Amino acid sequence: MNHPLAFISHGVRKPAFFILLVWTIIVMGFSQVINSPLKNSAAPASIVSFELARTPSNVQTMIAVWDSRAQLFAAFGLGFDYLFMPSYSFSIALACLLAAGRHKGWFTVLGAWLGWGAFLAAL
């Protein structure tokens, strides 16, 4: 099995990884800023509380507590997460490719599986 990013040449892999890593950290930090107005007693973990609400009544309670500004932040934040998913999956997959490239044998196969797994996790 080939790694999903095996097409990236060896000389470009490490710089590309660090660029992707920095980008992913920036996106993650921006996501935290977006979600900070959402934290309150109904949603103690901010948007994560909303995403794991379990019941429609919990969702309605959170939405009712948020003012219109917070609701706009929630909508934008949920959409912004779709940028975070490919960012972290490419970063993790490229890190697996770099690690697998340093070893031969079963470690290379494991790196390929983990690379595909990172993209599967994003889906």
Q: What is the pLDDT of residues 92-102, one digit of tens each?
A: 999 998 998 88
The contacts of residue 8 (CB under 8 Å, 6+ apart) are: 16, 94, 97
Asked if 91 contacts 5 with a C-beta cutoff of 8 angstroms, the reply is no
pTM above 0.75, yes or no: yes
Q: What integer is the mean pLDDT of 28-45?
A: 88
- Euclidean distance between CA atoms 111 and 103, whole angstroms: 10
